Chains A and B, each alone.
Chain A
Amino acid sequence: MILSLAIHSPPSSQASYSAYQFAKVALIQGHSIYRVFFYHNGVYHGSDLTCSGQDEFDLIDAWKQLQNEYQLDLVACIAAGLKRGIIDTTEAERYEKDHHNLGNHFELSGLGQLVDATVTSERLISFGG
């Protein structure tokens, strides 16, 4: 089945762990994931500066590995990202910021990507709403 995920919760939330676990198991079971759209506080997943505790599960790194393995389309909402300080090099230049922090495995894009994922996938599963 073709699935997409919408994640609205930050990496510190249990809902985000559930989202990752769901994605991983769905992929292992042979389903495909068309897109993972990070919206609202979910965009915090995009920060490459997150450091989890040594004895803690590294959710950001786990998504990175899953992305490498399955070539996932991980998209963070650009408007929600800008508001929360999640920006890539292009946006850093546009808004004249000295820094950027979006991980390489992520992409910033508009809400149209969420609508596209909704229409294209057989199921869209929301986490953290």
Chain B
Amino acid sequence: MSNSLSSNESNTKKSSKKIGIVMRHAPYGNNLAHEALDAALATSIYGQELTLIFMGDGVFQLLHQQESKAIHQKNLEKQLTALEFYDIEKVFACKHSLDERQLKQNNLSINVAAIETEELQQLLHEQDVLLSF
């Protein structure tokens, strides 16, 4: 094993890391959206620096007035509106993805910062770890 592969202590000590959780799938087709939000809450409870990023079909998770009861699913909006009580304030959505789907802020259940593709790239790059759902 070469030196370049040896463990870097500064990266492995148990400190806070910048963790980005990326939501890429529409809600309800499977359980990914719910379980991603569970992972987000767990991450914040353990004191990590968390950023939530909604992109692609993941922006559909943000839609307000989801009547998920009709399909026997737990409503995602409740979990989303709980984010602020967990001090999860860094919530971003890809503006391009929103525009493509003709979604505007007033269609969404929570306040998100809609960011341009370049900013999004920068944001993803800044994270120590990305968890993709």
Check B19 for interface membership: any CB of A closer than 8 A. yes
Q: Interface 1/0s, chain A 62-77, versus B by CB < 8 A?
A: 0000000000000001
Bound CA span A32–B7, Å: 9
Q: How many residues of A contact B (CB 8 A)?
A: 29
Cβ–Cβ contact B32 & A111, under 8 A? no
Check A114 for interface membership: any CB of B closer than 8 A. yes
Q: How many residues of B contact A (CB 8 A)?
A: 30
Cβ–Cβ contact A119 & B17, under 8 A? yes
Chain A residues positioned under 8 Å from B22 (CB to CB):
129
Check B85 for interface membership: any CB of A closer than 8 A. no
Chain B residues positioned under 8 Å from A111 (CB to CB):
38-39, 42
Q: Residues of B at under 8 Å CB distance from A? A: 1, 5-8, 11-12, 14-17, 19, 22, 24, 30-32, 35, 38-39, 42-43, 45-46, 48, 129-133
A-B contact pairs, 25 of them (CB 8 A): A8-B32, A8-B133, A29-B1, A29-B5, A30-B5, A31-B1, A39-B35, A40-B30, A41-B31, A79-B38, A80-B31, A111-B38, A112-B42, A115-B42, A116-B46, A118-B17, A118-B19, A119-B14, A122-B7, A122-B11, A124-B131, A126-B130, A126-B131, A129-B22, A129-B133
Excluding A40-B32, A119-B16, 14 further A-B contacts by CB distance (< 8 Å) are A1-B6, A32-B7, A39-B39, A41-B31, A114-B39, A114-B42, A115-B42, A115-B48, A119-B15, A121-B12, A122-B12, A124-B129, A126-B130, A129-B22
Q: Residues of A at under 8 Å CB distance from B? A: 1-2, 6, 8, 29-32, 39-41, 77, 79-80, 83, 110-112, 114-116, 118-122, 124, 126, 129
